[in-house]
Structure 1
């Protein structure tokens, strides 16, 4: 590492080193310095080499990933938050890694997205600012300090290929003029910038007005997020005018505790004819604002999704009579489809009135913030929604069980969350009733080590249910008497139940004082399950995490349905690392490297499989246009990993039989001999073989039945793909057969 912590890393003259680059785990990574070979028909060659590329990027704590839904496009993302306890890399590896990152951004148009944390930007600002003007980024997510560096402000206007820009700055009372001017220049120059998110930056008055004017003139931006005091109060008139007159903006998320700015935003929404999705996250709730919201709900015929929330509950208690105007407006509104509100906004009588309104609306659904409280009003709200028969139009998400479980069977909840100090008897009773609660799909529970009663009730439910999709278990410190009496039986019950369950897709287990045997038995129970898509494990101690990873690595390459593995230590917090007994010692570091070796070795499998599923789950699946990679991915799912078709059917909201039929119809388009050879790039049009002197049968003599028999043993991925670099394309003659 550089001697000065946080000093910018030099990237000069690093490209030459990439020809003989070595990763931090394997001896040779290979040639990564070639230019991008991606075309519209063929993704770049580095997509097939992500594991090796990520080894080279690892010292800089960066990672390449495939972008779901975007064939052949990659995102370069910071992973420093996951590496806080790992040993520092060698200085040579760090310089080499920074040089490769610089080369990727500068020369590979397949790198379409960049996500950089504040610590990364501070360290690599020089190579980033040098490479970004020559990049082809479509999305940039950047966290940085304040005031912003002149380097990034100078770069922003040149990023004309950007479609999305997310900027999060350290909060500051000082206003900035350089950034809004740079952003205004980008808005004027870019024909693609459709999404903009700004947080934590205070912009100077005249520069802000110039930016809002540029946004109005551009007519391209569709999605705007303003978080914090981004727009000064003196510009609230210009902000309101922009929202009113924008011809392109359809989504607005706004967080600002300034009443004047909030009023300006609501006035702009009221008169907008394009904004259909609104989220106000710092609602202040004075009389004028209440009336403006009522007018939006009654007069605006464009808004389909409206969310109101606040961190201060008292803003909803000031004048409940005034909120009658919202009920009047909702009764007249025939456009709104989704409404997010806090349960304390109305009293009991008002909620009864709202349920009558909700029952009369065919499209409206309500999502209720409950702040994890089970007071009398909240109980009344849930009972009213249930008794009125509108539970299918309302959602309260998780049900917090603390003192009682009276609302366990209310269908407005989709999950159950046991409070950490919920009584043992209450937990056991509730768990034994869960098989009768088909509406509950997720469960969060804390268990003390050795608590046989709760473990037994949980195990009985887990091994019997076919409806549970998400399970989160936190194992807490045991009472000495309980642990002595139960021994390891309590844990064996849980592990055995997980091995018998066939419905859980998202499993999250964390705890302290877990032995290697506990961890290994858990991995053995879940690693062979084809239903689990995401596995999260947390432990206070790197040795425990290493035991988990080493056991999981035994069979990870054969598991094509596990899409995501997350490891964490409960001491990791946002932006900080808690130091103490859990910090890695020198002796632990080789095992730490082994853990990350698994993560990098399995990354190609995890990202490619997840990308395969996500890529198909969109409207384009209905009008599937086959190419080598999409057809090969679909073929692999249908022939080897049919479990993933269930996920596809669930996300597209169709039956498994229907999605299976659609998939096989798509595959039939590449089933013939000519189509197979064409899509794999073997021939340009059709297969034509030169006649043999001995008259023996040739490939093009095979009938459909014979070729179908061959195809049972031949997949698209079995045909080797030739990597063609851009500079060599002109020298390669086009195929004629």
Structure 2
């Protein structure tokens, strides 16, 4: 397969090239990633740079075409070489399609990989051969730090191998088994391995490991949590709504554990007794810094008002029992800094105000995130948040609908909102919302969903005016249900609404994420939309799903042309026209390239002074994606992140700093004096040098071989 022609460009790939990576320098393979991806992408994978100078094979989509057997073979062969010969490859996603006929080849490569740090494996039930091959590799993964197992069907022997690996590993710090279903009598084998582990700091499991259906498993897991000294983050998830989860093995043990900092309970059905256990734990625990309980069963549960509540807790105030539990917990706990709750599943709407005031009085809490609340409660919630006096500590996530859009201007705490209209006969709230939006500078995310026939010239004009003039909106979703009109009946009048929207989008300079679904774009509108995408220096995420295959095909073809000149887009999702897969590949590769550059640039801003990271920072200095990445890494706001980017670029503005970072000199620039007395490089003052720097980029200077 050496020098095999790639699928789209027809270029030749020398896949046997050795690894050349070293500290501060990229492996030569980084210059040919797009060629490697011409083999991986048809199989549903993509090589990405998720951390500077390190390559990851990432699953990007599912492949359903049975004719791609050959591409899986090619991909597995390439992966084998990458893992065995390239120390710059540190992370791999594997699935049943890639493993099915090639598990021995791939598992052999896993054993030989010199620098594999992260592995994600997703199989399916009854893939026993693949599961056995994988289990056999575990003792050889001496450098693995992160392991995620999903739908891997492990028998008793394989579970014992996994258990021994967990007990003996000296490198593993993160283990995710959220989608690993194990029978209760076998789950104890895994927990026994966890008990003997001394390295894992982050653990994510499903309810099968904490189930009391097997008393031995539940007690073993409880002892693990009670005596463990390394675990910092624990997540327990349930995918089933059929039965309650008994948290006694976890919550009781946390009264003794003094090292766990973060606890996440996701999708669990909890009765009143378990809710009391949670609040009791929050009262007694002195080390937990973050607690997240979302999608838990709420007031509609028949067990909601359970009688098994401590009398002293029931006696607090005149609020409901559950509210009393939380009020006591929030009064007593002084160490929790972050709290993430789904309010509509925990307490009654009438109790929101009392809870918010208790949260506000707890001065140790720095961030309270509220999720998925009923639209009928939103106005009341916003008012209650304002009454706390510290609304800036509360965050309402996900776009929410209001019970009345007239309240939107007064709900400053609601930064994301959604307005839906099922038919033109019900368009009143939609028109009202669009009319009020210009007065709502607090709205950062807007989702408009409507029946396509609702979009007339009048409505589109109001929406377009808001889009063109807003300076605060960051995310916009436009969803149109049903086909707006038969393609053969299009005329100039019906073309106007979407053209008006496209023109407005072209004038907007603040939107970072844009999603349009269900519209038809004619040739002119397609060209306008493509021009907007190509020229935008603010749009980072884009999703385009026209209602017509013809429209989608033309859009994809034109979008792929000259898309490489865009260095802002980081994520692109477009209608998948498989007959134009080369265009689709080109578009997704640009997003992959830009994401790599952001990763490097952010690393430079955070303090890594490698030349290839500085080159990326200089190239992307005005990119909002870079600012957002620095925000994420440094946990700071947008303005401070922008200042950090600017400061980092100034760090190599002087001559000596520039030449040193470029690798031209080790310390400073010196020049031998000439007899003619003419000025040399070191004789330039700062202003002259900065003028020259306008025409010289760090990336223009070739590395020494």
| TM-score, L = length of structure 2 | 0.85
**2:146–2:175: 8 Å Cα contact kept in structure 1?**
yes
1:254-305 per-residue CA deviation (whole Å, 9 max, x = no partner) reads: 0246656522122223322111211112333324312211211211111222
Deviation, 1:407, is 4.1
Instruction: Give the secondary structure class of the aligned counterpart of 2:405.
Output: coil
- Alpha-carbon separation, structure 1, partners of 2:593 and 2:370: 39
Matched, 1:34 2:34: no
Deviates more, 1:513-522 or 1:56-65: 513-522
Deviation, 1:332, is 1.9
**2:40–2:46: 8 Å Cα contact kept in structure 1?**
yes
- Alpha-carbon separation, structure 1, partners of 2:97 and 2:207: 21
Instruction: Give the secondary structure class of the aligned counterpart of 1:527.
Output: helix
- Alpha-carbon separation, structure 1, partners of 2:598 and 2:187: 41
Instruction: Give the secondary structure class of the aligned counterpart of 1:225.
Output: strand
Deviation, 1:627, is 1.7
2:356 corresponds to which residue?
Answer: 355
Instruction: Give the secondary structure class of the aligned counterpart of 1:509.
Output: strand
Change (3 A) 1:32 1:607: farther
- Alpha-carbon separation, structure 1, partners of 2:615 and 2:513: 27
**Match of residue 146, structure 1, among 108, 111, 125:** 125
**1:77–1:114: 8 Å Cα contact kept in structure 2?**
yes
Matched, 1:511 2:493: no
Matched, 1:366 2:368: yes
Instruction: Give the secondary structure class of the aligned counterpart of 1:315.
Output: coil
1:498-544 per-residue CA deviation (whole Å, 9 max, x = no partner) reads: 11211100001111544444333322234322111111112355543
Change (3 A) 1:653 1:77: closer
Instruction: Give the secondary structure class of the aligned counterpart of 2:56.
Output: strand
> For structure 1, which runs of at least 5 residues remain unmatched after alignment?
1-16, 570-583, 724-737
Which residues of 2 match residues 318-467 of structure 1 at below 5 A?
A: 318-319=304-305, 320-339=320-339, 340-347=341-348, 350-364=351-365, 365-370=367-372, 373-375=374-376, 379-398=379-398, 400-401=400-401, 404-408=404-408, 409-421=410-422, 423-447=426-450, 448-449=452-453, 450-467=455-472
Instruction: Give the secondary structure class of the aligned counterpart of 1:444.
Output: strand
1:494 corresponds to which residue?
Answer: 501
Change (3 A) 1:592 1:487: same
1:51 corresponds to which residue?
Answer: 34
Matched, 1:181 2:160: yes
**2:538–2:623: 8 Å Cα contact kept in structure 1?**
no
2:314 corresponds to which residue?
Answer: none
Which residues of 2 match residues 167-246 of structure 1 at below 5 A?
A: 167-169=149-151, 176-203=155-182, 208-230=187-209, 233=212, 234=214, 235-246=217-228
Matched, 1:596 2:575: no
Instruction: Give the secondary structure class of the aligned counterpart of 1:487.
Output: helix
Deviates more, 1:411-420 or 1:661-670: 661-670
**1:177–1:207: 8 Å Cα contact kept in structure 2?**
yes
**1:392–1:411: 8 Å Cα contact kept in structure 2?**
no
Deviation, 1:701, is 6.0
Deviates more, 1:412-421 or 1:663-672: 663-672
- Alpha-carbon separation, structure 2, partners of 1:722 and 1:29: 26
| TM-score, L = length of structure 1 | 0.82
**2:195–2:224: 8 Å Cα contact kept in structure 1?**
yes
Matched, 1:159 2:141: yes
Instruction: Give the secondary structure class of the aligned counterpart of 1:413.
Output: coil
**2:210–2:249: 8 Å Cα contact kept in structure 1?**
no
Matched, 1:73 2:54: yes
**2:297–2:345: 8 Å Cα contact kept in structure 1?**
no
- Alpha-carbon separation, structure 2, partners of 1:388 and 1:316: 32
Using CA pairs under 8 Å that are at least 6 residues apart, name the structure with larger relative contact order, 1 or 2: 1
Change (3 A) 1:568 1:334: farther
**1:557–1:605: 8 Å Cα contact kept in structure 2?**
no
Deviates more, 1:134-143 or 1:55-64: 55-64
Which residues of 2 match residues 690-701 of structure 1 at below 5 A?
A: none
> For structure 2, which runs of at least 5 residues remain unmatched after alignment?
306-319
Deviates more, 1:387-396 or 1:468-477: 387-396
Change (3 A) 1:203 1:678: same
Deviation, 1:417, is 1.1
1:560-587 per-residue CA deviation (whole Å, 9 max, x = no partner) reads: 2222212246xxxxxxxxxxxxxx7xxx
Matched, 1:268 2:253: yes
Change (3 A) 1:378 1:720: closer
Matched pairs, number: 669
Deviation, 1:410, is 1.8
1:10-59 per-residue CA deviation (whole Å, 9 max, x = no partner) reads: xxxxxxx22x1211112323423122111123221112221122123334
User: How well do the aligned residues superpose, as a CA RMSD in angstroms?
Assistant: 3.4
**1:396–1:413: 8 Å Cα contact kept in structure 2?**
yes
**2:601–2:615: 8 Å Cα contact kept in structure 1?**
no
- Alpha-carbon separation, structure 1, partners of 2:696 and 2:302: 64
Deviation, 1:626, is 1.3
1:92-143 per-residue CA deviation (whole Å, 9 max, x = no partner) reads: x654443212111221111111122343333542332121111221111111
1:673-706 per-residue CA deviation (whole Å, 9 max, x = no partner) reads: 55544443445566677899x8797977655556
Change (3 A) 1:220 1:328: same
- Alpha-carbon separation, structure 2, partners of 1:567 and 1:479: 19
**2:378–2:403: 8 Å Cα contact kept in structure 1?**
no
- Alpha-carbon separation, structure 2, partners of 1:186 and 1:542: 50
Deviation, 1:144, is 0.8
1:529 corresponds to which residue?
Answer: 536
